[in-house]
Copies of this chain bind each other. A is one copy, B any other.
């Protein structure tokens, strides 16, 4: 599959015309990771979005005093990670490890901002698409939290995280 055909299927590039998609593509860098290799580490300041071109990665956080690993997601071809770093100014919220040999495309924060100098509509659309992706994940996370809250019988005490 050509790069443009691949990008056309990625939700965060939804609605972009082919010419704009081609411009985005010039900013993407291909990277390869071995099985077991850590691609990003929780707490790092790096600002970069990744799209899995081929392979599988796990997202995990280090939890508790023993920094035990807790997996929070598995991602495969066409899925992205690190997109929150293009939006907010916080350190990495979790670590990512390649589970198989993995090819990824990366977009740095500075290149993301450079896209802003093109048609403003493209940049706005990208930000809106990324927001939708984060929103989709928050809906899922909230559903899981609500399930946990019920199961732990602490519903009325509640843990505070998010909202509709």
Residues of A in contact with B (beta carbons under 8 Å apart): 40, 42, 58-61, 63-64, 68-75, 81-82, 84-85, 87-88, 90, 92-96, 120-121, 123-124, 127-128, 130-132, 134-150, 152, 155-164
The DSSP consensus for interface residues of chain A is mixed
- Specify which of B60, B124, B156 is in contact with A71 (CB 8 Å cutoff): B156
Copies in the complex: 2
The answer to whether A162 and B72 have CB atoms under 8 Å apart is: yes
Question: Please, could you name 26 A-B residue pairs with CB atoms under 8 Å apart, sorted by A?
Answer: A61-B142, A63-B149, A63-B155, A64-B150, A70-B155, A71-B156, A71-B158, A72-B145, A72-B149, A72-B158, A73-B158, A73-B162, A82-B164, A84-B138, A88-B132, A93-B138, A93-B139, A93-B143, A94-B163, A120-B124, A127-B127, A127-B131, A130-B131, A138-B162, A141-B161, A145-B148
